[in-house]
Chains A and B, each alone.
Chain A
């Protein structure tokens, strides 16, 4: 039994706090997502590009934010979902996903979304439009 959340302007989605992203998570996500770019999983390649270490796939953070959305409304209600990747998420970064409703109009709610790290860096901003009853 699921309950329909109150969807009104200002409503906050329950934040989704993730554990620090491990190298194992990056390896699993590379395989599961099909993004095998070695820059995310191979320290040698990251160093050859002048980086100190590997960093997380942007789409991993977008998938976490997707969990925030589908944990709040059934997926079939999501009409659109977009993000801008504002900063790299280093390995061991601990993302928190947040969202709040900024408009409700004609049966559609717009949710502003963000992912931030423990040090305050915003790594991703975006929005989603969801259908409401």
Chain B
């Protein structure tokens, strides 16, 4: 089940426009056991100099999943989601984002390659997150597809 590299790079992923919700940030804080009130209590956030609840460092990854079929691009490439592992993730930050902000998330696949004779395939996805045309953060994901039936 080899990924078609040209097809992967040519794949156009639609941008997503997301308005960050306070309730969602509180839910995220709860799920990760965040005890710092800045991430769940607007008054605490404002006392710390924020206009509203800040988007925590890794939630930028979640913004991209706010689409009806977030893994649809894997389907289009014939990739079984059960074989997918997250290999690497990086973020570069330019400014903080807050609840109430409307952000535009633009992902694109920038590279695809295989290793171990096709037993492992890799997709590199880069995502720009902007607010009013200004870059807020950049994210890069390495997605690994395991093909255990391929013997290296």
The answer to whether A binds B is yes
Is the Cβ of A32 less than 8 Å from the Cβ of B36?
A: no
Return the contact of B61 from the options A33, A69, A84 (Cβ within 8 A).
A33
Most central of A50, A58, A75 by chain B CB within 10 Å: A75
Return the contact of B33 from the options A67, A70, A88 (Cβ within 8 A).
A67
A66 to chain B, nearest CB (A): 4
Binds A, one of B4-12, B83-91, B117-125: B83-91
Is the Cβ of B56 less than 8 Å from the Cβ of A76?
A: no
Contact with A along B114-132 (1 / 0, CB 8 A): 0000000000000000000
Query: Is A25 part of the contact surface with B, judged by Cβ < 8 Å?
Result: yes
Query: Is B152 part of the contact surface with A, judged by Cβ < 8 Å?
Result: no
Which residues of A from 49 to 86 have beta carbons under 8 Å from B? 49-50, 57-60, 62-64, 66-67, 69-71, 74-76, 78-85
Is the Cβ of B88 less than 8 Å from the Cβ of A83?
A: yes
Is the Cβ of A58 less than 8 Å from the Cβ of B89?
A: yes
User: What range describes how many residues of B lie at the interface?
Assistant: 35 or more
Query: Is A28 part of the contact surface with B, judged by Cβ < 8 Å?
Result: yes
Which residues of B from 36 to 86 have beta carbons under 8 Å from A? 36, 48, 54, 56-59, 61-62, 65-66, 70-71, 81-86
Return the contact of B92 from the options A75, A79, A83 (Cβ within 8 A).
A79
10 intermolecular pairs with C-beta atoms under 8 Å apart: A31-B31, A34-B62, A60-B32, A71-B36, A78-B57, A80-B90, A82-B90, A84-B88, A85-B85, A85-B86
A-to-B contact residues, CB < 8 Å:
18-19, 25, 28-29, 31-37, 39, 45, 48-50, 57-60, 62-64, 66-67, 69-71, 74-76, 78-85, 88
B-to-A contact residues, CB < 8 Å:
24, 27-28, 30-34, 36, 48, 54, 56-59, 61-62, 65-66, 70-71, 81-93, 96, 140, 148
